[in-house]
Amino acid sequence: MTLKVAAEETGGAFALAEFTAPPGYAGPPPHRHSGTDEAFYVLEGEFALTVEGETAPAGPGAFVFVPRGVLHTYANPGSVPARLLLVMSPAGFERYFVDLAAAYAGGPPDPGRLAAVFARHGLEVAGPPPDAAPRGV
């Protein structure tokens, strides 16, 4: 994930990141954000975007808005990398990715450490991804 613009540059209005998912990326567990709206804009490849239990393929040019509180996840079921832009509003949730990277430094963190990162950023996990190992969002 590459942060393109953060809270400091937008007066807290929004943050923008570019995310590249490797082939076969199972994605994060289904989750919701208590204080952040997200918008996904697919640049390359194809994502499977799941919102409130409904999964749809999303290729280049697809746009999906996920209001705060709505259950969602995403994956790259394809055989090539897939890229998207992620808009987070208001800004601030981008710090979650910094905390998540720190939690994974040195290997997979224990579930309690991940749960603390999730809670700190208002993220509620609603279940494991289909292939199961705990991971970040």
The domain spans of the chain are: 2-92
pTM over 0.75: yes
What's the whole-number average pLDDT of the chain? 91
Pairwise CA distance, residues 17 & 109, whole Å:
24
Q: Which residues of 50-74 are buried (b: 16+ CB within 10 A; e: fewer)?
A: bbeeeeeebeeebebebeeeeebbb
pLDDT tens digits for range 85-113: 999 999 999 999 999 999 999 898 888 88
Average the pLDDT over 23-43 and give the result. Answer: 95
Structure token pair of residue 9: 């540059």
The dotted CATH code for 2-92 is: 2.60.120.10
